[in-house]
Chains A and B, each alone.
Chain A
Amino acid sequence: MNTTPTQPAATTPVTSVPTNPTNPASSADTPAQSAQSAQAATQPALQPAEQPATQPALFRPPQLSWRWFPVFRRNLLVWRKLAVPSLVGNIAEPLITLVAFGYGLGALVGQVQLGGTTMPYILFLASGSICMSAMNAASFEALYSAFSRMHVQRTWDGIMNAPVRLDDVVFAEMLWAAFKSLFTSVVILGVMLALGISHSPMLLLALPLLALVGIVFSSIALIFNALAKGYDFFTYYFSLFLTPTMFLSGVFFPRDQLPAVVREISSWLPLTAAVELIRPLFLGQWPAQALQHLAVLAVYGVAAFWVALALTRKRFRG
């Protein structure tokens, strides 16, 4: 992640230039020059030679080190103790939805026409709902659980008493939520295989894609985590962002059903990109416009993590 900074100017500390009211000549010169010369003239008289460090820019690039790993490992250790109940909670709900809608509604709907292909509704729904589960699992972890650790338990404060940067903590939380989401996806995919919904060997390719979906949605969720005053705030995120996303992204019904304008918007949603990439794999086909969809996910992921990090830095700046 230590890639080329896109905002090189932001990393250069801005030194504040003191104006000198006792120097009347300064007003004649260009402000910058005069202030500089005034500073040079008074420098020996000014007391402490050491200037305080200027506040670094919020949007500077992530400063990451391997210290994110012990933070990730901490979450893993907690989870190992609570894995079984948390697994049941994470997986039961999506599977119940799949079975109820897939077989119940599927009996009414029968086959779904998508592009040139016809497929049973259960297959259509399964391939969309695994993306939705990945989204939900990542969002829950990066909102409620991360907020508990950041705000309620002050775990992050404790961690930063050790030589660990906030950037590493946020990065670890993002990867952790993505990991948990991927774990959920793997188990659900396993159940789908057992139910015989699809046996395409191309499903193996779905795993890295689902990991990417986890990264994207945990990054977006961490933005709202950084802004939250309490848990109530997350209700807005779920009902105003995730629920519409779910219905607009072709999880439950083909996007052809949407009005043209809404369909256009939906084309640029991250969950749409995920569904468009993963659904063909269930049918043993290569996704169309794969690069475009991957690019959409990548842009959402990088931009969201960057914003989340900046807002979290702002939150922790006292």
Chain B
Amino acid sequence: MTQPLFEVSHLTKRYGAATVVNDLSFSIAPGECLGVIGPNGAGKTTTIRMCLGLTSPDAGSIRYFPGGAASGGSGNGGPGAALAMPQDALAIKERLGIVSQFDSLDPDFSCAENLLVFGRYFGLKDAVIKERIPRLLEFAALTHKADAKLSELSGGMKRRLSLARALVNDPQLLLLDEPTTGLDPQARHLMWERLQRLVQQGKSILLTTHFMDEAERLCNRLLVLDHGKKMTEGTPRTLIAQNLEPDVVEVYGAGALALLESPLKALAARVEVSGETLFFYTSDAKRLLAALNDYPALRTLHRPANLEDLFLKLTGRQIREAA
């Protein structure tokens, strides 16, 4: 197994009596896209903040780039020692690309100026940045907007500019906190296409998201987080296969809830109720659907189990008040 590019071990953060992140460990291999999913208040943002050195953990360690730490290490280790957050924050950020949940683009600058000014924070020479700007704008599909003011950009364009800005230092690892929240479907698809391109180029990505389709499409591996703890971890397909029956039959309409008392219940491994709808999780959808033919008033939907089912199974269906 190759050495991970990024490794978090036994990370814990408490605020007063509340443990927001609880003994969390995970790692990212080079070229991998890891998705962190979880409901609001699960500890995603706190974890990201600790990974960025913005919040100090109460316990545990965060290590970046083992074996590749050419310079700037804190000194507790020989050549090839990993960089630790927060001690080596600056050396880490030289090689990291960050897209935070909220845009922090400069409203007074054009797209190209935003990239130039941000590149200077890395100590890059203007000539080097200016050479990179056309490629970055092209990547963000913003070449035609190079000199446009920020107020002329749509939400999707701003997110893509944020992504392009995070690439100005040619980072090995990208940390993306909900990169597509608030975007329309077209803008999301374009963003996904760009992120897939980055993974193909060999970049590693840590991504948090609320969208299961996004997680399934982009991530090699997923980590489900709730109440600050790791619920499970694996590839999207494996997680579904391990935790769920292959088929879901949704039943709704007048009298659907009465089925809970009927023998039909035995045809499913698990039945969940949400409002007026029943969810039958089953390995034998055929028999269940045949039996449901006796209830013509009810409407049914038969589909394969997906990541959203897994997410709801692991984290529950109740709305999180903390959100």
> Which chain A residues have a beta carbon within 8 Å of chain B's beta carbons?
47-48, 50-53, 55, 67, 70-71, 73-74, 77-78, 81-82, 153-155, 157-165, 316-318
Some 15 contacts from A to B, beta carbons below 8 A apart, are: A52-B59, A53-B56, A70-B121, A77-B117, A153-B104, A153-B106, A154-B103, A158-B100, A158-B118, A160-B54, A161-B52, A162-B118, A163-B93, A163-B123, A164-B90
* Bound Cα distance A165, B103 (Å): 20
Contact B108 A81 (CB under 8 A): yes
Contact B61 A71 (CB under 8 A): no
Smallest Cβ-Cβ distance to A162: which chain B residue: B121
Contact B104 A157 (CB under 8 A): yes
* Bound Cα distance A55, B89 (Å): 14
Contact B49 A318 (CB under 8 A): yes
B98 on the A face (CB < 8 A): yes
- Residues 97-132 of B at the A interface (beta carbon under 8 Å): 98, 100, 102-109, 113, 117-118, 120-123
Q: A164 — which chain B residues lie within 8 A by C-beta?
A: 90, 121
Q: A157 — which chain B residues lie within 8 A by C-beta?
A: 100, 102, 104
* Bound Cα distance A162, B122 (Å): 6
Sorted from nearest, which 10 A-B pairs have the closest CB atoms?
Answer: A158-B104, A162-B121, A70-B120, A318-B55, A154-B104, A161-B98, A163-B90, A163-B93, A50-B61, A78-B108
B151 on the A face (CB < 8 A): no
* Bound Cα distance A159, B106 (Å): 10
Q: A53 — which chain B residues lie within 8 A by C-beta?
A: 56, 84, 86-87
Contact A73 B120 (CB under 8 A): yes
- Residues 154-199 of B at the A interface (beta carbon under 8 Å): 166, 169
B308 on the A face (CB < 8 A): no
Contact A165 B106 (CB under 8 A): no
Q: A52 — which chain B residues lie within 8 A by C-beta?
A: 56-61
Q: A155 — which chain B residues lie within 8 A by C-beta?
A: 104, 106
Shortest distance from the beta carbon of A151 to any chain B beta carbon, whole Å: 11
Smallest Cβ-Cβ distance to B104: which chain A residue: A158
Smallest Cβ-Cβ distance to B162: which chain A residue: A158
Contact A316 B54 (CB under 8 A): yes
B10 on the A face (CB < 8 A): yes
Q: A154 — which chain B residues lie within 8 A by C-beta?
A: 102-104
Smallest Cβ-Cβ distance to A50: which chain B residue: B61
* Bound Cα distance A157, B87 (Å): 19
Smallest Cβ-Cβ distance to B113: which chain A residue: A77
* Bound Cα distance A318, B56 (Å): 8
B238 on the A face (CB < 8 A): no
* Bound Cα distance A51, B56 (Å): 12
Shortest distance from the beta carbon of A154 to any chain B beta carbon, whole Å: 4
B307 on the A face (CB < 8 A): no
Shortest distance from the beta carbon of B96 to any chain A beta carbon, whole Å: 8
Smallest Cβ-Cβ distance to B25: which chain A residue: A48
Contact A48 B120 (CB under 8 A): no
* Bound Cα distance A53, B88 (Å): 11
B94 on the A face (CB < 8 A): yes
Shortest distance from the beta carbon of A14 to any chain B beta carbon, whole Å: 13
B9 on the A face (CB < 8 A): yes
Contact A48 B9 (CB under 8 A): yes
Q: B61 — which chain A residues lie within 8 A by C-beta?
A: 48, 50, 52
Contact B109 A78 (CB under 8 A): yes
Q: A159 — which chain B residues lie within 8 A by C-beta?
A: 121
Q: B118 — which chain A residues lie within 8 A by C-beta?
A: 158, 162
Shortest distance from the beta carbon of A190 to any chain B beta carbon, whole Å: 27
In-complex Cβ contact of B93 among A77, A158, A162 (8 A): A162
* Bound Cα distance A159, B60 (Å): 27
Q: B169 — which chain A residues lie within 8 A by C-beta?
A: 162
Q: A161 — which chain B residues lie within 8 A by C-beta?
A: 52, 93, 98, 100, 104, 166
Q: B59 — which chain A residues lie within 8 A by C-beta?
A: 48, 51-52
* Bound Cα distance A82, B107 (Å): 13
Smallest Cβ-Cβ distance to B76: which chain A residue: A50
Shortest distance from the beta carbon of A93 to any chain B beta carbon, whole Å: 23
Smallest Cβ-Cβ distance to B45: which chain A residue: A318
Q: A162 — which chain B residues lie within 8 A by C-beta?
A: 93, 118, 121-122, 169
Shortest distance from the beta carbon of B169 to any chain A beta carbon, whole Å: 7
* Bound Cα distance A52, B56 (Å): 8
* Bound Cα distance A73, B122 (Å): 13
Q: A160 — which chain B residues lie within 8 A by C-beta?
A: 54
Contact B109 A77 (CB under 8 A): yes
Shortest distance from the beta carbon of B215 to any chain A beta carbon, whole Å: 23
B292 on the A face (CB < 8 A): no
* Bound Cα distance A71, B118 (Å): 9
B24 on the A face (CB < 8 A): no
Shortest distance from the beta carbon of B17 to any chain A beta carbon, whole Å: 18
* Bound Cα distance A73, B126 (Å): 12
* Bound Cα distance A161, B207 (Å): 16
Shortest distance from the beta carbon of B110 to any chain A beta carbon, whole Å: 10
Smallest Cβ-Cβ distance to A71: which chain B residue: B121
Shortest distance from the beta carbon of B108 to any chain A beta carbon, whole Å: 5
B146 on the A face (CB < 8 A): no
* Bound Cα distance A48, B58 (Å): 13
Shortest distance from the beta carbon of B27 to any chain A beta carbon, whole Å: 15
What 1/0 flags go to B56-74 for Cβ under 8 Å of A? 1111110000000000000
* Bound Cα distance A82, B113 (Å): 15
List 4 other contacts, CB 8 Å, given A154-B103, A157-B104.
A52-B61, A70-B120, A153-B106, A155-B106
* Bound Cα distance A316, B107 (Å): 22
Q: B84 — which chain A residues lie within 8 A by C-beta?
A: 53
- Residues 250-271 of B at the A interface (beta carbon under 8 Å): none
In-complex Cβ contact of B10 among A48, A70, A317, A318 (8 A): A48
Smallest Cβ-Cβ distance to A165: which chain B residue: B90
* Bound Cα distance A130, B52 (Å): 44
B240 on the A face (CB < 8 A): no
